[in-house]
Amino acid sequence: MGAGKSTLGPQLADRLGRRFVSVDAVVEEETGMTIAELFTERGQEAFRELEERAASEVLTRHVPAVVELGGGALGSDLTRAALAEHAFTILLETTPEEAWQRVAGARPLARHPDEFAELYAERVPLYEGVADGHARDLDGAVLAAAGVHVWEGARDGLGGLVPGGGPVELVVDAGVEPLHGDGVRAALGDRLAATHVVPAGESAKTAREAEKLWSALHLDRGGTLVALGGGSTSDLAGFVAATYLRGVAWAPVPTTLVAQVDAAIGGKTAIDVEGGKNLVGAFHWPARVVVDPELLATLPREEHENGLAEVVKTGLLAGEPLWELDPGEQVRRCAAFKAAVCLRDPLDRGERAQLNLGHTFAHALEAASGFELPHGRAVALGLLAALRLSGLEEEVRTVEQVLRPQPVSVDRNAALAALDRDKKSKDGRLRVVLLAAPGEPRTGVELDRESVREALLTLIA
């Protein structure tokens, strides 16, 4: 009690697009009495029986919801079993001092500070025993629900952060191997069975590299594939994990800004083919994403600028200048925004399309460059085109000032052909993501083909 569940719960439900259910409110509605009245008139034991029944009914309905359980609900074996079978349980962390300040004298079991502290200590093992994730705020709750762990220094704790107890095989970017390979292998310890080095960058995302990994792996279905590197490494390793033995667990450890704020989150995996970028792939949600902002310290300046394009995109979608935050908070806020969108639309059948803001143009430029153009530079240009078509001149100036995109030299006809093959097209009609205003994305907008083509051509030198 006093952890802030009643405040955070409805906010989390809104972020995840689910209904909010308070078990206490269910009990009050069914009895016509407040919790305090129930404690006074019927006693705690009678209340716990009512609470147990209500919790069981709510948790077994199989209707997506954010459920708030009272502080003493976990004293019930039945409730703990229902949580284990039907729920992802987040422990909202607080201290006894914080909780006491919020509820002192206002709850039946918050009458004396020493007794309150004893009750807190008594319940902590119950809470830890059922917790699938921990959080202290809304973004932390979203990240926990998505299995995304953003921790400074998390790399050194990988042995405990990679889920399961089975063997681990490591897929590592060739450029990252000399920087972090030894540290990650040491952290994985005895669980590590093998290491596979893949090419750096987009050249890793080919059918040939996927086939080499399929042939080299020796995991069984209890094993986990760990991907150490940028977005291309995550895309390749995730796709291989999705298809090897019809699916094994995987855990990306992103080392670039673009991967930490975007590419490693949400379960989209893919490789490139001659026809275009990311045309062959699968949805395969990671067992855990381990984001360590400290790994960005070794990132070259140009790679940081690449990632900043995705930060600006996320800020435009969120309606907040996230690019102005300190690096660690920037990563956390962007990761939480994308995680919430992906939890609401895990298979990209609706609003998740907003994450493609600028990407219709970016992917065409990348394909026309033979995938030599860095993704971030392409996204920066793509944002310019999307914002111009949206009529948002102030946001155009923001992109120009923060990202400084310059037209690129690629084959114009190849770019136009790639645009026509964009996987978001429907019945031969181009569909793009625009903004009505910052924080107000418009998905699936069908525009005159010539307007879209002209917007693309302005990005080419």
* pLDDT tens column, 117-159: 898 999 999 999 999 999 999 999 999 999 999 999 999 999 9
In this structure, which topology does domain 351-457 adopt according to CATH? Dehydroquinate synthase-like, alpha domain (1.20.1090)
Summarised one tens digit per residue, pLDDT across range 16-68 is 999 999 999 999 999 999 988 998 899 989 999 999 999 999 999 888 899 99
Residue that is written with structure tokens 């034991």 in the block: 45
Domain boundaries, the chain: 5-136, 149-344, 351-457
Report the alpha-carbon distance of residue 295 to residue 152 in Å, rounded: 9
CA nearest 233: which of 259, 208, 257? 259
- Of 215, 220, 225, 231, the closest CA to residue 195 belongs to 225
Return the pLDDT at 423.
Answer: 61
Pairing of strands 148-150, 289-291: parallel
How far apart, in whole angstroms, are the C-alpha atoms of residue 400 and residue 381? 9
| pLDDT value for 424 | 65
**pLDDT on residue 61:** 87
From CA 72, how far away is CA 316, in angstroms rounded?
42
Helices (H), 289-445: 301-318, 327-344, 359-368, 375-390, 393-403, 412-420
Q: Among 439, 408, 437, 402, which Cα is nearest to 312's? A: 402
Nearest residue to 202 via CA among 356, 363, 372, 381: 372
Given this model, what pLDDT does residue 448 score?
A: 87
Per DSSP bridges, beta strands 276-283 and 268-273 are antiparallel
Quote the crossing angle between the two packed helices 359-368 and 412-420, to the nearest 10°.
130
pLDDT for position 54? 95
- pLDDT value at position 278? 87
The residue type at 354: Q
Beta bridge partners of 65: 19
Taking each continuous run of H as one helix and of E as one strand, the counts in the chain are 20, 14
Calpha distance 274→188 (Å, rounded): 36
The CB density around residue 434, as the number of other CB atoms within 10 Å, is: 21
Give, for 287, the enclosing helix (H) or strand (E): none
Question: What is the Cα–Cα distance from 75 to 120, expressed in whole angstroms?
Answer: 13
Q: Does domain 5-136 have CATH number 3.40.50.300?
A: yes
Question: Can you give the pLDDT at residue 426?
Answer: 66
Domains 5-136 and 351-457 agree in fold: no
- Note whether 58 and 12 are within 8 A (CB): no
SS (H, E, C) 186-223: HHHHHHEEEEEEECCHHHHCCHHHHHHHHHHCCCCCCC
pLDDT for 56: 94
The one-letter code for the residue type at 132 is: D
Is beta strand 224-229 parallel, antiparallel or unpaired with respect to 192-198? unpaired
Q: Has this prediction a pTM greater than 0.85?
A: yes
- CATH-assigned architecture of domain 149-344: 3-Layer(aba) Sandwich (3.40)
Task: Tokens 């400290």: give the residue.
Answer: 294
In angstroms, the CA 414 to CA 101 distance is 64
Residue with token string 């995938």: 371
Contact 180, 156 (CB under 8 A): no
pLDDT value at position 205? 96
Helix (H, G, I), strand (E, B) or coil at 366: helix
Distance, CA of 241 to CA of 250 (rounded, Å): 6
Q: What residues have CB less than 8 Å from 393, skipping those under 6 apart?
A: none
pLDDT given for residue 70 in this prediction: 85
Do 27 and 38 meet the contact criterion of CB atoms below 8 Å apart? yes
Q: What is the pLDDT along the chain (461 residues), one digit of tens a residue?
A: 888 999 999 999 999 999 999 999 999 999 999 988 998 899 989 999 999 999 999 999 888 899 999 888 999 999 999 999 999 999 999 998 998 888 887 777 778 888 888 989 999 999 999 999 999 999 999 999 999 999 999 999 999 999 988 999 999 999 999 999 999 999 999 999 999 999 998 899 999 999 999 999 999 999 999 999 999 999 999 999 999 999 999 999 999 999 999 999 999 999 998 877 888 999 999 999 999 999 999 999 888 988 999 999 999 999 999 999 999 999 999 999 999 999 999 999 999 999 999 999 999 999 999 889 999 999 999 999 999 999 999 999 999 999 999 999 999 999 999 998 876 666 667 889 999 999 999 999 999 889 999 999 999 99
User: Taking CA 214 as the corner, what is the angle to CA 209 and CA 217, rounded to the nearest 5 degrees?
Assistant: 120
d(CA 142, CA 314): 16
- Tell me, what amino acid is at 93? E
